[in-house]
Amino acid sequence: MDEGLWAWRQTENHNHMIEMQEKLPAPAADGAVELAFFGGSAFRITSPSGLTMMIDPWRNPPWGTWNWYLYDFPKVAVDIALSTHAHFDHDAVHVLTANVILDRLIGTYEFADVKITGIADKHVSDSKHNAYDWAEMTRRLTPMKTNPPDNCRSFDNCLLIIETGGLRILHWGDNRPNPPDSVWDKIGDIDIVLLPVDGSYHVLSAAQADAVAERLQAKLIVPHHYGIWDVTTRGSTLLPPDEWVNGRKDSIWADGGSVKLTADFVKQQSGRVFCFGEHVAFDKPIARGTGA
């Protein structure tokens, strides 16, 4: 617990970044972008040039009284690790082998054929729409302040926009559904939004998810932060997103844990849901427990 990051023990190196650094900047509009789902809110995005980014890798609660996940996050090497906010199910950047760590980025980072923008806003703090009203339980059981503007650090959230391959991809994290107009203006046009939707409506209610999708006018909507039978424990209270997904017109259910998307395909869509469902982009190990 006292050691902090352990990158000093990793045997890998950043030679791949040196190679990309020596090349001329790659054109931003060419080639397919791979989107791979790792359960929870974790996605790996691979740019046309081969730059890899992992957003929101998860871990179990560090206090050790109950688990959300049936096993540890898979061992993955990426060029850039990112986190939207300081909650255990989003902040495990230390478990990755990463060349660059952008934890709760605010501002802009550019490298190779990728531009990443972090926009500071606030985590959801009203969860009356959830059967368990977890935000109220947090306030009642801990000294943590959850309501903005005087919230504790873990109730800040950074919206992350990845621009690559002619696409603008927004990871919503656990952001509140009603950010101020100044934040919406900074977000701008979005092609793909990674939006937290699960059957328990842990982060956003169905109506809030619909409203965010409508405001963004994204071409594709990709759910995350939902329950997966052999990844998340029952104690997490998360449920599959099937009801919301099936309630949207022309929804697509993936047949695997990753997909390659071109700008031409994405820009032909209009508010269409693409859901990975039970599929993840790694081999699920034998779980440590049933989670029942």
Instruction: Dump pLDDT digits (tens) for 214-234.
Output: 999 999 999 999 999 999 998
Tally of CA atoms within 13 A in the half-sphere of 284 that contains its CB: 17
Q: How far apart are alpha carbons 194 and 43 in whole angstroms? A: 9
Instruction: Dump pLDDT digits (tens) for 189-204.
Output: 999 999 999 999 999 9
Mean pLDDT to the nearest integer, 35-60:
97
Mean pLDDT to the nearest integer, 137-156:
83
DSSP string of 137-175, one letter each residue? HHHHHSS---STTS--GGGEEEEEEEEETTEEEEE-TTB
Q: How high is the pLDDT of residue 2? A: 57
Q: How high is the pLDDT of residue 6? A: 84
Asked whether residue 292 carries a pLDDT value surpassing 50, the answer given is no
Q: How high is the pLDDT of residue 32? A: 94
Q: How high is the pLDDT of residue 286? A: 74
Mean pLDDT to the nearest integer, 154-173:
96
Across 64-68, 136-140, 146-150, 177-181, least confident range:
136-140
Mean pLDDT to the nearest integer, 169-186:
97
Please give the residue that has the higher pLDDT: either 227 or 285.
227
Q: How far apart are alpha carbons 200 and 214 in whole angstroms? A: 21
Q: How far apart are alpha carbons 272 and 252 in whole angstroms? A: 8
Average pLDDT, the chain: 91
26 CB-near residues (< 8 Å, 6+ apart) = 47, 48, 49, 112, 113
Asked whether residue 289 carries a pLDDT value surpassing 60, the answer given is no
Q: What is the pTM of this model?
A: 0.93
In Å, what is the CA distance from 186 to each residue of 29, 118, 148, 163, 194? 21, 10, 20, 14, 17
Tokens found for residue 32: 């397919």
Q: How high is the pLDDT of residue 133? A: 67
Question: How many other β-carbons are positioned within 10 Å of the β-carbon of residue 288?
Answer: 13
Q: How high is the pLDDT of residue 81? A: 98
Asked whether residue 27 carries a pLDDT value surpassing 80, the answer given is no
